[in-house]
Homo-oligomer: A and B are copies of this chain.
Amino acid sequence: MSSPAPWPALRATYHVTASTNYDLDARVESLLLEQTVELPRAALRDKFVLDNIVGRLASLDPLEGETHRAVIDFPIIATADDPAQFLNVLFGNSSIQEHVLLADFALPSDWPGRKKALPGPKFGTAGLRKILNVPERAITSTALKPIGLSTERIAQLCALFAQGGIDIIKDDHGLANHTFHPFRERVRACQKAVREANSASGRCSIYVPNLIGTPSTVLKQLQFAQDEGVGAVMVAPMLLGLPFLAEIVAHHARVPVLGHPSFGGATRIAPELLYGKLFPLYGADATIFANFGGRFAYSRATCGKLAKALTQPEIPNLPPTLPMPAGGIKYHQVADVLSFYGREVVLLIGGGLYEAGDDAALRARVEEFVRNVEEFK
């Protein structure tokens, strides 16, 4: 147990499952290192880094069964006051470790960069209630669906809901820019329906379009929707990226933003599929993944399938791309790893080189690693 961290800290609580004390210690040590330095402690030679970057264990207590609660402080400076890097420090690589659950976190009270990293809601409850003119009671909401209806029919439903007195009428999260109900046509028609119903009823119902697509598409949709006068917009942050939500709120949205949970369970995708198929389809030329035997413990079978998906894509016209197994490969394991993957591979070794020692030792190990790969038959 270490003393309180001497710097402003992001305090993260993890539930760690381990069947022996040996495993538990190793997994906690891994959490301390993985989110910032991503190196074995033996390879940390810089005093500033050791004192100011590595996580510190605040407490470790048994929960139930084989699960323990580990509370860890990370220096807030490691986040660089950046929305994406904040997630990296909180639960980047460790999210891949099956025995770890992120249970909670707390921000330091003295963090001048908080608003830059995490803008927080612009309107919140008070702002939404004001827009809806519903100061006290619970708020009603429904969704326009299903996809595949005509724009006219969706607008009819929107009118019906607004006339019936529903406060928030939102697009289903599956309404994209489909040919049956193109975004602009739909927003214009639904917004008109709500406006007319409100004029008649005196209520302040709002229509909330679903923004979906790549960032440039979503920003165009947002601008159009705001110009049409919508009362709020909806995005699915796990689908579009949490950092993008921060940018939308900090720089572009003039209306409240509703968050949708779609794709929130992304890890329930088989790794060979997420990394082997989805990453290249979305454009990656090489994909880093957790090698077998390393600190993330995918099986050889999973790694084999993943590598095959990348190097021999089933999808027509999709060029082969390179697997980059990583995460604890040792420099002397090169032959084993190459025998497994063949030569269509990028061998990514970090800690296994750094732990050699000083620069002379590091240089020697680098040269041995390079030679081992170049000479492998």
Indicate if the CB atoms of B265 and A267 lie closer than 8 Å.
Answer: yes
> Within A245-262, which residues are at the interface with B (CB < 8 Å)?
245-251, 253, 256-262
CA distance A283 to B222 in the complex (A): 15
The yes or no answer to A26 lying at the interface (CB within 8 A) is no
CA distance A35 to B281 in the complex (A): 20
Copies of the chain in the assembly: 2
Is B128 touching A322 in the complex (CB atoms < 8 A)?
yes
Residue of B nearest to A323 (CB): B125
In A224-242, which residues have CB < 8 Å from any B CB? 232, 234, 236-242
CA distance A64 to B262 in the complex (A): 28
CB within 8 A of A140: which of B91, B137, B176, B369?
Answer: B369
For chain A, residues 95 to 143, give those with C-beta under 8 angstroms from any C-beta of chain B.
Answer: 95-98, 100-107, 109, 118-128, 136-143
Can you name 24 A-B pairs with beta carbons within 8 Å? A36-B148, A82-B176, A82-B177, A84-B240, A87-B262, A88-B173, A88-B174, A93-B261, A96-B261, A101-B270, A118-B281, A127-B285, A141-B347, A141-B348, A164-B367, A242-B278, A244-B244, A250-B283, A256-B285, A257-B283, A259-B284, A261-B287, A261-B290, A266-B267
Q: Are the CB atoms of B282 and A314 closer together than 8 Å?
A: no
- Which of the residues B124, B270, B289, B318 comes within 8 Å of A321, measured between beta carbons? B124
A240: min CB distance to chain B, Å: 5
Instruction: Determine if B239 and A88 form an interchain contact, defined as CB atoms under 8 angstroms apart.
Output: yes
A243 in complex: contacting residue of B79, B213, B354, CB < 8 Å: B213
Interface residues of A in 312-369 (CB under 8 A from B): 314-322, 324, 338, 341-350, 353-354, 359, 362-363, 366-367, 369
Known: A237-B284, A319-B121. A267 touches B267 (CB 8 A): yes
A83 and B258 contact, CB distance less than 8 A: no
A63 within 8 A of B: no
Chain B residues positioned under 8 Å from A316 (CB to CB): 109
Question: In the complex, how many angstroms separate the beta carbon of A28 from the nearest chain B beta carbon?
Answer: 16
Q: Are B85 and A176 in contact (CB under 8 A)?
A: yes
Known: A77-B179, A88-B173, A91-B266. 15 other contacts (CB 8 A): A80-B177, A95-B265, A95-B269, A120-B315, A124-B322, A128-B285, A138-B338, A138-B345, A141-B346, A160-B363, A164-B370, A213-B243, A240-B241, A261-B289, A261-B290
Q: List residues of chain B with CB within 8 A of the CB of A350.
A: 142-143, 145, 172
How near does chain B come to A141, taking the closest CB pair, in angstroms? 4
CB-defined contacts of A338 to chain B, threshold 8 Å? 138
